[in-house]
A and B are shown apart, each in its own frame.
Chain A
Amino acid sequence: MEDLMPYANSILNPYLEEWREGGGQVVGYCCVATPREILDAAGILPYRIRALGNPDKELADAYLARFNCSFCRACLQLGLDGTYDFLDGLVETNGCDHLRGMFENWQYVKKMDFFHYLKVPHIITEESLEFFAEELELYREAISKYFEKDISDDSLREAMNRNNRVRAKMKELFSMRERERPALTGAETMSVLMLESSVPPSVFEDFLDDLIEERDSKEITGYRSRLLMAGSATDEMVLMKEIEDVGGLIVTDALCYGTRAFWDLPELEGDPIHAMADAYLKHLLCPRMFDDYQARLDFTMDAARRAKVDGAVLVYNKFCDLHGVENVRLRMDMEKEGIPVLVLEKEYGAGADIGRIRTRVQAFLERIGG
């Protein structure tokens, strides 16, 4: 099995190209509230939009404003400059106000033939779950109609089983990072997650099997402190690497480009649409959900305890108010539990900012005795 890791850091990779050359279709999505299973069941590759630390935003800034999250601007940039032209369609969600803006502008400019808006409720009630199930049904119908693919309940179940199997393996791999002697770094685990949604499922699963076996006996040494990272949408492996380079090993996380994407999703059984509605909405663990803070705190604290962290870094992209406010509350609650916290506001993909971030992390490591 070829080492896929280097491809984590690129939008395209040979496997994806091969998939497309063989007539395979690819649909982009961004938010973890989007059930991948529906695309998977249609034989379409669900590709999670990422910007990989892209610092350029000049095209995007003609549409989104500088008061919008730089991650969304960086993704939009890649949408507008043609990097994402290989996508056969896009699925929007109302993840947050910035993300909605990103998708609306993307569609305003590029006018994709397939563009579907999946509306995700902000609260969990009987009615909202039913509404979300209807949304998933409409999403299934839209894909089925546009791509002329039959998405039966059976094929959905099959996709659910496949995705559950992959999630279980991801969990195993990510747990290896939480060990007393971690087998992977934080940057490496994030790379694995990037690959999950950019290579065909069978390729990824084989890679995952090999990686688990290969890394099982490995031990990372030479770090000063064990850290948890939580906060805004970020796919910046470079940021994690910078933090790890100064001695803060990220042994666990509560990131949406991290464990929140797969950790707690239950087995999907029964009527597939309702099962997905339940699983995805009830386990969204995103501050865009209201009346659900305790679940998010529990998730973060469980990770911190499991991984026996020395401290936590709560990151958020400038102008991300959902995480900006959430981090204040998380900091207060985590500190009450004896976990030192560094809240790090940052610009996405801002290489020039890295010196400041390194200094703040170093100071934090000093503070927690690392």
Chain B
Amino acid sequence: MDRVYSLLSLMDHLPDTISDEEVEGLLGFLPADISRTLEAVLNPRIREVSLVFFKTVANWLEEAVIAKEEGGKVILVPFNTPPEVLHVFEKATPITSEVLSTFGVAALDGQGEPYWDYAMGLGMPDSLCSANSIELGSILSRDDFLPDAIVQTAPGGCDVNSKIHEFVAAYLGIPQFFLEKPTENTGRGRELYSKYFNHLMEDLQGFIGEELDEDKVRETMERSNRCTELYYELWDLHKHIPSPVPNLFALYTYGVRFTVWGKEEAIEVLELMVKTVKDIKKRGDYAAPEERARALWIYTGYYFDFLGFFNWMEENGISYLGDGLDLYFPSPVDTSSMETMFEGMAEAAWNMPMTRQVGGESMMMNWLDDILYAVNDLGATCAIYCGHHACKQTWSVFSGVRNEIQKRTGVPTLCLQGDSWIRRMTPTSVLQEEISSFVNNVVTRKKRTAARRRRKVEAESE
């Protein structure tokens, strides 16, 4: 985190607007890995949003640094912990493992590989999730900022995530606070979850040494509600054909969700995203002349090469309608009392990505439900599974999920294999080749066949 923070804080020194020439100059003297990331995010169509987004992340990290210096508590959380649960405290700051890994991969020279290697050096199995292991490897190497505690919300949703966090807590000798997801979708499971959630909040108040202030909680929830509105606004904008939403915005949306949701900065980034998308739509400013495929990535994307992944797809007419991490469907929180606000936060946690799908009663059916809804609602023409090797839960039911997507929507699904955060496993060029083949040979051909069939039916009916 220390290195990511140092690099991202450089963004603060950049002006809010920056010309193409200045970008080119900047990219020229930066190390290759960060230069490639910046080339992607400083693309003119998204430059303004990217600068605000990266500055927001840098400020979020800075808050953790300041909290530590001033005696506050820095709490490490996995991505399926709603950060507003900690933003309601004055003296606590969440830092999110997977977000730090992602920014480490995006910003550091050598990406996250040295930290992954450190974790492997301890004897960890190489089938662990790099999203956790990169950040946690850096903590274990003591080459990083140390958290004061871990809030663990992955039990029930992901064994790998839960286990590596447990190891880190033991290794560092810091406490863990649990919020288990009962794999039971009825009211009984939900009721138990609320009880667990209330215990978690009690324990956190004790650990942080702060009694929650109702006004502060309400302000945070009101801001969360505004984020929810903006989330749905962005969701709806994806429905336009061609999609006016730049591919990287999927990452930015959940980047906000996993870090600053419930804070003013979150609203600022999301509002700017909505405005930018509306401008693109109005101007018809698309990166490709034709939208050849509307892809729903059903779990995660790839994060080791923004330029070769998000931007490359966009330039090749493949719209990224979002991925599994965007599927959390937030609900407005009733702010009338502490009880209703606690219930609202519990509901948000229950619906976080992964928790909601593979932490559900049936990994296959709960995941499938969300995919089918998104495919139909967003008008996806194809689905893509990234095949992140560590996701044992999704891998274990993917075959059935793919069959059902095909059967129920007619949409084909591409199954890739790779590691979403480590380029060593499947390089960008191979991913691009597979995606291209799929789009060229399956998606567009299917579209042409469907159009021919439609024309034939129309002709016959005349």
**Contacting pair A329 B397 (CB below 8 A):** no
- Interface pair B393/A97, CB less than 8 Å apart: yes
CB pair A131 B182 closer than 8 Å: yes
B159: which of A62, A108, A288 is its contact (CB, 8 Å)?
A288
Closest Cβ neighbor of A63 among chain B residues:
B399
Contact check, A316 vs B167: say whether CB atoms are below 8 A apart.
no
**Contact residues in A for B189 (Cβ distance below 8 Å):** 119
Q: A104-B363, A122-B180, A127-B192 are in contact. Are A321 and B399 (CB under 8 A)?
A: no
B155, B156, B392 — most chain A CB neighbours (10 Å):
B392
Chain B residues whose C-beta falls within 8 Å of the C-beta of A104 in the assembled complex:
362-364, 396-397, 400
- Check B363 against A328 for contact (C-beta < 8 Å): no
Q: What is the distance, in angstroms, from A139's C-beta to the closest C-beta of chain B? A: 13
Interface residues of A (CB under 8 A from B): 62-65, 67-69, 72, 94, 96-98, 100-102, 104-105, 108, 117, 119, 121-123, 125, 127-128, 131, 134, 287-288, 290-291, 293, 316, 318-322, 324-329, 331, 343, 345
Cross-chain contact B182 with A290 (CB below 8 angstroms): no
Q: How far is the CB of B313 from chain A (nearest CB, A)?
A: 24
The answer to whether A343 touches B400, judged by C-beta atoms less than 8 angstroms apart, is: no
Chain B residues contacting A94 (CB-CB under 8 Å) are 156, 183
Give the complex CA separation of A96 and B124 in angstroms.
18
For A119, what are the chain B residues with a Cβ–Cβ distance below 8 Å?
182-184, 189, 361
- CB of A68 within 8 A of CB of B396, answer yes
- Closest approach, in angstroms, between the C-beta of A77 and any C-beta of chain B? 14
- What is the bound-complex CA distance between A62 and B402, given in angstroms? 12
Tell me whether B123 is interfacial, beta carbon within 8 Å. Answer: yes
**Closest 5 pairs (CB-CB, A-B):** A101-B396, A324-B125, A65-B395, A122-B155, A97-B393
Question: Assuming A104-B363, A105-B399, is B192 touching A328 (CB within 8 A)?
Answer: no
Q: Name B349-391 residues within 8 Å CB distance of A.
A: 358, 361-364, 389-391
Please state if A65 and B124 are interface contacts (CB–CB under 8 Å): no
Given contacts A104-B364, A128-B180, A324-B124, 5 further A-B contacts (CB under 8 A): A67-B127, A100-B393, A121-B180, A122-B178, A321-B163
**Of the residues A65, A324, A325, contact of B396 by C-beta under 8 Å:** A65
Q: Would B363 and A101 count as touching, CB distance under 8 A?
A: yes
CB pair B178–A321 under 8 Å, yes or no, is no
CB < 8 Å: which of B167, B358, B361, B399 contacts A325?
B167
Q: A101-B392, A324-B125 are in contact. Are A291 and B163 (CB under 8 A)?
A: no
| Closest beta carbon of chain A to B136's beta carbon, Å | 11
Residues from chain A with Cβ under 8 Å of B399 in the complex: 62-65, 105
Which residues of the other chain, A, contact B395 by a CB distance below 8 angstroms? 64-65, 67-68, 101
Contact check, B397 vs A321: say whether CB atoms are below 8 A apart.
no
Give the shortest distance, in Å, between B354 (CB) and chain A (any CB).
11
- Report if A290-B152 is in contact (Cβ < 8 Å); known contacts: A117-B361, A122-B180, A321-B163: yes
Q: Bound state CA distance, A300 and B125, in angstroms?
A: 21
* 0 or 1 for each of B170-198: is its CB under 8 Å from A? (1 = yes): 10000010101011100011001001100
Indicate if the CB atoms of B122 and A123 lie closer than 8 Å. Answer: no
Min CB distance A35 to B, Å, is: 18
Contact between B392 and A325 (Cβ–Cβ < 8 Å)? no
Bound form: Cα–Cα A238–B397 in Å? 30
Bound CA–CA A62/B415 (angstroms) = 13
Taking CB as reference atom, which chain A residue is nearest B124? A328
Contact A345 B125 (CB under 8 A): yes
B166 lies within 8 A of chain A by Cβ: yes
Interface presence of B406 (CB below 8 A) = no
Chain A: which residue is nearest B184 at the CB level?
A: A119
Q: Does B151 contact A (CB under 8 A)?
A: no
Q: Complex formed: what's the CA distance from A127 to B184 in Å?
A: 14
Task: Tell me which residues from 445 to 459 in chain B have a Cβ below 8 Å from any Cβ of chain A.
Answer: none
Asked if A322 and B159 make an inter-chain contact with CB atoms under 8 angstroms apart, the answer reads yes
Residues of B within 8 A of A343 (CB): 123
B162 at the interface (CB under 8 A from A): yes
